[in-house]
Structure 1
């Protein structure tokens, strides 16, 4: 009986050590993945020239989206006909956006950053076909949109809008939940779009 109890104690201790080892290895793996992700982000910050430059009219792969910035112009009226708030004016970028996923999506926040206009807020997205705010995009159906930033009425406007397009990467399993999704937002392209002083594009 004593031998049986001793064997059982040894088995339990072995299982405990194995469980602890598994937890430690899992934790190390999680920390390693986080360190790699952080390292990649820091590398991008320290090496901004690695982000490619694109011209207006070129399609950019941005993870779940295909983004094609086409034309830009200042505006005093929003695409839906409402005037811009007093003391401000708008800059409108006409673009084509295609949802590359298999489901309807409205995850467009953060995909465009206007980098050379001070005090700009936005963008808000409008459908060109009906001038309404974008609710969601169907899968694999390119849509013409207008991205609208508002800025102080007296803000100086450049001759060319400098934009950064951000993308995300699909992972079949994330490190935390083991579920699929889009992760690691990062800049995928810089785009220069001439600003047409004649009026809004589209």
Structure 2
């Protein structure tokens, strides 16, 4: 009787270990597959919906001028400038646009946030009003001695609106998630042509 109970216990233990191992392996394989699944490649000539914002990339270029839209650059330094049209799709004015784009580490230091400037009057980090498209410049200072890249890689981040969040029960935009990548050609300077197909 005791031997029979021992046998059943051993069988359950082995089965439990096997099940746990199978679940662990499946989880690892699932995570591995998700981590290595490539992001969609977005067309820079088309508008991009990120939830809070509608983005229209316009052009990218490197400048060695002393100022870029009123922003003082380091002496002898260069800056990579990305111009794009941004439309606030929310119901209130906001400037939560700093994290909507992540620069490729091959072009700039990804730990460095860009300066964001309103091109029409060089206002630094303005709040953008709902439904009003504005032309903005994202400015990254390039490392000393860095050559101008031929193209500029970016990852686009989207957030999801929740009427009530789980922590405070308040509305907001949450769960930043990469939705695609962009590759934008880098022009010779501020006079470079826009990349939109409808722009001469």
CA distance change for structure 1 residues 47 and 61 in 2, over 3 Å: closer, same or farther?
farther
Say if 2:85 is the partner of 1:93.
Answer: no
TM-score by length of 2: 0.72
Structure 1: segments with no counterpart, 5+ residues: 1-41
Q: Paired residue for 2:101, among 112, 118, 123? A: 112
2:42 corresponds in structure 1 to 54
The range that moved more, 79-88 or 52-61, is 79-88
1:144 corresponds in structure 2 to 135
Q: For this pair of structures, how many residues does the alignment match?
A: 160
Deviations 1:162-195 (A, max 9, x none): 0111111001121122221110011122111100
Higher helix share: 1
CA distance change for structure 1 residues 157 and 98 in 2, over 3 Å: closer, same or farther?
same
2:187 corresponds in structure 1 to 196
TM-score by length of 1: 0.71
1:40-189 mapped onto 2 (5 Å cutoff): 46-49=35-38, 51-77=39-65, 78-115=67-104, 116-119=106-109, 121-189=112-180
CA distance change for structure 1 residues 81 and 176 in 2, over 3 Å: closer, same or farther?
closer
